[in-house]
Structure 1
Amino acid sequence: MYPNQNWHCDWKGDIVGYTIGNDMSSRSIEGENPLFPSKSVRQKLFHRSLLRFNKHHTRPTSLSVECSIYRNGDEVFQASTSTGDMARSCSEINQWLHESNFVPDLTTVLKVLQ
Protein backbone atom coordinates (compact mmCIF):
# COMPACT_ATOMS: atom_id res chain seq x y z
CA MET A 1 0.00 0.00 0.00
CA TYR A 2 1.24 3.42 -0.87
CA PRO A 3 -0.53 6.74 -0.44
CA ASN A 4 -1.51 8.55 -3.62
CA GLN A 5 -1.21 12.17 -4.51
CA ASN A 6 -4.20 12.98 -6.64
CA TRP A 7 -4.86 16.02 -8.72
CA HIS A 8 -7.97 17.27 -10.43
CA CYS A 9 -7.81 18.66 -13.93
CA ASP A 10 -10.28 20.33 -16.21
CA TRP A 11 -11.00 19.47 -19.84
CA LYS A 12 -8.51 22.10 -21.01
CA GLY A 13 -5.63 20.38 -19.22
CA ASP A 14 -5.24 22.76 -16.29
CA ILE A 15 -4.66 21.33 -12.81
CA VAL A 16 -7.38 22.82 -10.62
CA GLY A 17 -6.59 21.23 -7.25
CA TYR A 18 -4.71 18.57 -5.29
CA THR A 19 -5.80 15.95 -2.79
CA ILE A 20 -4.47 12.79 -1.15
CA GLY A 21 -5.96 9.33 -1.28
CA ASN A 22 -5.50 5.58 -1.32
CA ASP A 23 -6.22 3.31 -4.28
CA MET A 24 -8.58 0.74 -2.77
CA SER A 25 -9.13 -1.18 -6.01
CA SER A 26 -6.05 -3.39 -5.80
CA ARG A 27 -6.72 -6.99 -4.80
CA SER A 28 -3.12 -7.25 -3.64
CA ILE A 29 -3.89 -5.03 -0.64
CA GLU A 30 -6.72 -7.18 0.68
CA GLY A 31 -4.46 -9.50 2.70
CA GLU A 32 -2.85 -8.23 5.88
CA ASN A 33 -3.00 -4.56 4.97
CA PRO A 34 -4.23 -2.64 8.04
CA LEU A 35 -5.78 0.05 5.84
CA PHE A 36 -8.01 -2.28 3.85
CA PRO A 37 -11.51 -2.64 5.35
CA SER A 38 -13.59 -5.77 5.01
CA LYS A 39 -15.98 -5.95 2.05
CA SER A 40 -19.00 -5.43 4.32
CA VAL A 41 -17.49 -2.20 5.68
CA ARG A 42 -15.97 -1.04 2.39
CA GLN A 43 -19.35 -0.53 0.72
CA LYS A 44 -20.21 2.12 3.31
CA LEU A 45 -16.99 4.11 3.05
CA PHE A 46 -15.82 6.96 0.87
CA HIS A 47 -12.19 6.21 0.14
CA ARG A 48 -10.93 9.50 -1.21
CA SER A 49 -9.85 12.33 1.00
CA LEU A 50 -11.93 15.49 1.05
CA LEU A 51 -8.85 17.59 1.72
CA ARG A 52 -8.07 19.82 -1.24
CA PHE A 53 -5.23 22.22 -1.81
CA ASN A 54 -5.59 25.35 -3.85
CA LYS A 55 -4.16 24.99 -7.37
CA HIS A 56 -1.88 27.90 -6.55
CA HIS A 57 -0.21 25.99 -3.73
CA THR A 58 3.20 27.56 -3.47
CA ARG A 59 5.15 24.28 -3.79
CA PRO A 60 3.13 21.48 -5.41
CA THR A 61 6.42 19.68 -6.04
CA SER A 62 6.99 19.21 -2.32
CA LEU A 63 3.66 18.05 -0.91
CA SER A 64 4.09 15.28 1.63
CA VAL A 65 1.81 12.53 2.89
CA GLU A 66 2.30 10.77 6.22
CA CYS A 67 0.19 7.98 7.67
CA SER A 68 0.37 6.03 10.95
CA ILE A 69 -2.19 3.49 12.11
CA TYR A 70 -2.43 2.31 15.70
CA ARG A 71 -4.33 -0.68 17.02
CA ASN A 72 -4.63 -1.20 20.77
CA GLY A 73 -1.89 1.38 21.27
CA ASP A 74 0.59 -0.34 18.95
CA GLU A 75 1.69 1.17 15.66
CA VAL A 76 0.83 -1.39 12.97
CA PHE A 77 1.52 0.72 9.89
CA GLN A 78 3.61 3.77 9.05
CA ALA A 79 4.48 5.31 5.69
CA SER A 80 5.42 8.70 4.32
CA THR A 81 6.32 10.10 0.95
CA SER A 82 6.49 13.35 -1.00
CA THR A 83 5.73 14.61 -4.47
CA GLY A 84 9.42 15.50 -4.57
CA ASP A 85 10.06 11.74 -4.94
CA MET A 86 8.19 11.58 -8.25
CA ALA A 87 10.25 10.98 -11.39
CA ARG A 88 7.88 13.21 -13.39
CA SER A 89 5.95 16.26 -12.21
CA CYS A 90 2.18 16.42 -11.95
CA SER A 91 2.17 18.97 -14.78
CA GLU A 92 4.22 16.71 -17.06
CA ILE A 93 1.98 13.69 -16.43
CA ASN A 94 -1.12 15.84 -16.87
CA GLN A 95 0.16 17.21 -20.19
CA TRP A 96 0.85 13.69 -21.48
CA LEU A 97 -2.63 12.55 -20.41
CA HIS A 98 -4.33 15.37 -22.32
CA GLU A 99 -2.25 14.97 -25.49
CA SER A 100 -3.80 11.65 -26.48
CA ASN A 101 -7.07 11.41 -24.57
CA PHE A 102 -10.39 13.14 -24.13
CA VAL A 103 -10.39 14.05 -20.45
CA PRO A 104 -13.72 15.03 -18.86
CA ASP A 105 -13.89 18.08 -16.62
CA LEU A 106 -12.76 17.46 -13.01
CA THR A 107 -11.00 14.20 -13.81
CA THR A 108 -8.98 12.90 -10.86
CA VAL A 109 -5.52 11.53 -11.63
CA LEU A 110 -4.02 9.18 -9.03
CA LYS A 111 -0.25 9.02 -8.85
CA VAL A 112 1.15 6.37 -6.53
CA LEU A 113 4.02 7.75 -4.51
CA GLN A 114 6.67 5.16 -3.67
Structure 2
Amino acid sequence: MTKILLVEDNEMNRDMLTRRLVRHGFEVCCAPEGPTGVAMAESEMPDIILMDIALGDMDGWEATTLIKERASTAAIPIIALTAHALATDRAKSVEVGCADFDTKPVDLPRLLGKISACLEARAA
Protein backbone atom coordinates (compact mmCIF):
# COMPACT_ATOMS: atom_id res chain seq x y z
CA MET A 1 0.00 0.00 0.00
CA THR A 2 1.30 3.44 -0.91
CA LYS A 3 2.02 5.59 2.14
CA ILE A 4 1.38 9.34 1.98
CA LEU A 5 2.63 11.82 4.56
CA LEU A 6 0.24 14.76 4.70
CA VAL A 7 1.74 17.87 6.30
CA GLU A 8 -1.22 20.17 6.95
CA ASP A 9 -1.88 22.50 9.89
CA ASN A 10 -5.63 22.91 9.35
CA GLU A 11 -7.37 20.07 11.18
CA MET A 12 -10.46 20.12 8.95
CA ASN A 13 -8.36 20.01 5.76
CA ARG A 14 -6.19 17.25 7.23
CA ASP A 15 -9.21 15.14 8.20
CA MET A 16 -11.08 15.64 4.92
CA LEU A 17 -8.11 14.89 2.68
CA THR A 18 -7.02 11.91 4.79
CA ARG A 19 -10.47 10.32 4.55
CA ARG A 20 -10.62 10.87 0.79
CA LEU A 21 -7.13 9.43 0.21
CA VAL A 22 -7.81 6.39 2.43
CA ARG A 23 -10.96 5.68 0.37
CA HIS A 24 -8.69 5.57 -2.68
CA GLY A 25 -6.48 2.91 -1.09
CA PHE A 26 -3.66 4.97 0.39
CA GLU A 27 -2.19 4.70 3.86
CA VAL A 28 -2.00 8.24 5.27
CA CYS A 29 0.01 9.57 8.18
CA CYS A 30 -0.31 13.20 9.19
CA ALA A 31 1.88 15.94 10.60
CA PRO A 32 0.22 19.12 11.91
CA GLU A 33 3.25 21.36 11.32
CA GLY A 34 6.61 21.61 9.56
CA PRO A 35 9.07 20.29 12.17
CA THR A 36 6.91 17.22 12.80
CA GLY A 37 6.62 16.71 9.04
CA VAL A 38 10.41 16.77 8.67
CA ALA A 39 10.80 14.23 11.50
CA MET A 40 8.03 12.00 10.14
CA ALA A 41 9.52 12.01 6.65
CA GLU A 42 12.45 10.13 8.17
CA SER A 43 10.58 7.97 10.70
CA GLU A 44 7.70 6.97 8.39
CA MET A 45 9.61 6.88 5.06
CA PRO A 46 6.45 7.64 3.02
CA ASP A 47 6.26 7.01 -0.71
CA ILE A 48 5.18 10.63 -1.27
CA ILE A 49 4.58 13.79 0.76
CA LEU A 50 1.77 16.31 0.37
CA MET A 51 3.14 19.54 1.86
CA ASP A 52 0.99 22.52 2.78
CA ILE A 53 2.96 25.71 2.22
CA ALA A 54 1.39 28.03 4.83
CA LEU A 55 2.27 26.16 8.03
CA GLY A 56 3.24 28.78 10.58
CA ASP A 57 6.70 29.03 12.17
CA MET A 58 8.28 26.65 9.63
CA ASP A 59 6.57 26.98 6.26
CA GLY A 60 6.30 24.15 3.77
CA TRP A 61 9.17 25.46 1.69
CA GLU A 62 11.56 25.34 4.65
CA ALA A 63 10.31 21.87 5.63
CA THR A 64 10.77 20.68 2.03
CA THR A 65 14.30 22.09 1.94
CA LEU A 66 15.20 20.19 5.12
CA ILE A 67 13.68 16.95 3.81
CA LYS A 68 15.55 17.31 0.50
CA GLU A 69 18.87 18.00 2.30
CA ARG A 70 18.79 14.63 4.10
CA ALA A 71 20.19 11.72 2.11
CA SER A 72 17.62 9.36 3.68
CA THR A 73 14.62 11.42 2.54
CA ALA A 74 15.89 13.35 -0.50
CA ALA A 75 14.31 10.99 -3.04
CA ILE A 76 10.78 11.22 -1.60
CA PRO A 77 8.63 13.21 -4.05
CA ILE A 78 6.84 16.18 -2.52
CA ILE A 79 3.74 17.88 -3.90
CA ALA A 80 3.23 21.41 -2.58
CA LEU A 81 -0.35 22.29 -1.64
CA THR A 82 -1.40 25.92 -1.31
CA ALA A 83 -4.40 28.17 -1.54
CA HIS A 84 -2.19 30.64 -3.43
CA ALA A 85 -2.08 29.86 -7.14
CA LEU A 86 0.55 32.46 -7.99
CA ALA A 87 3.31 31.73 -10.49
CA THR A 88 5.83 32.80 -7.86
CA ASP A 89 4.53 30.12 -5.46
CA ARG A 90 4.86 27.49 -8.16
CA ALA A 91 8.40 28.67 -8.98
CA LYS A 92 9.42 28.66 -5.30
CA SER A 93 8.05 25.12 -4.91
CA VAL A 94 10.18 23.90 -7.80
CA GLU A 95 13.19 25.82 -6.47
CA VAL A 96 13.09 24.04 -3.09
CA GLY A 97 12.69 20.61 -4.68
CA CYS A 98 8.98 19.87 -4.96
CA ALA A 99 8.09 17.43 -7.71
CA ASP A 100 4.76 19.16 -8.35
CA PHE A 101 2.38 21.84 -7.12
CA ASP A 102 -1.37 21.85 -6.58
CA THR A 103 -3.89 24.36 -5.33
CA LYS A 104 -6.51 24.25 -2.60
CA PRO A 105 -9.29 23.57 -2.36
CA VAL A 106 -8.09 20.20 -3.55
CA ASP A 107 -9.50 18.85 -6.80
CA LEU A 108 -9.13 15.17 -5.88
CA PRO A 109 -9.03 13.67 -9.40
CA ARG A 110 -6.34 16.19 -10.40
CA LEU A 111 -4.34 15.55 -7.20
CA LEU A 112 -4.61 11.76 -7.66
CA GLY A 113 -3.21 12.19 -11.18
CA LYS A 114 -0.27 14.18 -9.83
CA ILE A 115 0.36 11.62 -7.08
CA SER A 116 0.33 8.83 -9.68
CA ALA A 117 2.70 10.71 -11.99
CA CYS A 118 5.16 11.40 -9.14
CA LEU A 119 5.12 7.77 -8.02
CA GLU A 120 5.66 6.54 -11.57
CA ALA A 121 8.57 8.96 -12.08
CA ARG A 122 10.16 7.78 -8.83
CA ALA A 123 9.83 4.13 -9.86
CA ALA A 124 11.40 4.73 -13.30
TM-score by length of 2: 0.24
Higher Cα Rg, which structure: 1
The answer to which structure, 1 or 2, has the higher relative contact order (CA under 8 A, 6+ apart) is 1
**Larger strand proportion of the pair:** 1
Task: Name the structure where helix makes up a greater proportion of residues.
Answer: 2
